[in-house]
């Protein structure tokens, strides 16, 4: 790396500003891209998904609700799977107005 002289400062400053602007645009673009949620979630992923939607339910609470058949789920190879859209709809129906 060569030393910058006083006369080169304005040009170097322009280069730095352009690079910072490019980095800023890249970061903003990544932040705006929504995270893709899979159609079906495992029990652990369902806990995380529901928490991200503002509904805190423990793993054991979800498991109990599935055994009582009060929450929508399906099974694949003996494992519980939850459809994300069904979970959203179910949560909305659980809310009660006072």
Q: Which pLDDT band holds residue 6 (cuts at 50, 70, 90)?
A: confident
State how far the Cα of 25 lies from the Cα of 15, in Å rounded to an integer.
16
- Cβ(72)–Cβ(86) below 8 Å: yes
On whether the pTM is more than 0.85, the answer is: no
Question: Per residue in 38-95, pLDDT tens?
Answer: 899 999 999 999 998 888 999 999 999 999 999 999 999 999 999 999 999 998 888 8
Q: Which pLDDT band holds residue 36 (cuts at 50, 70, 90)?
A: confident
Instruction: Reply yes or no on whether the pLDDT at 15 is more than 70.
Output: yes
- Cβ(49)–Cβ(91) below 8 Å: no
Sheet hosting strand 79-83, strand order edge to edge: 40-41, 79-83, 74-76
Q: What is the pLDDT of residue 97?
A: 59
């Amino acid at each position: 790396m060569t030393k910058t002289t006083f006369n080169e400062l304005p040009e170097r400053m322009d280069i730095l500003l352009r690079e910072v602007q490019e980095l800023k645009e890249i970061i903003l673009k990544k932040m705006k891209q929504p995270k893709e949620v899979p159609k079906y979630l495992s029990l652990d992923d369902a806990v995380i998904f529901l928490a991200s939607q503002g509904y805190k339910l423990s793993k054991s609470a979800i498991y109990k609700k599935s055994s009582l058949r009060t929450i929508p789920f399906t099974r694949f190879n003996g494992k519980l799977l939850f459809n994300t859209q069904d979970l959203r709809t179910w949560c909305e129906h659980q809310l009660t107005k006072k």
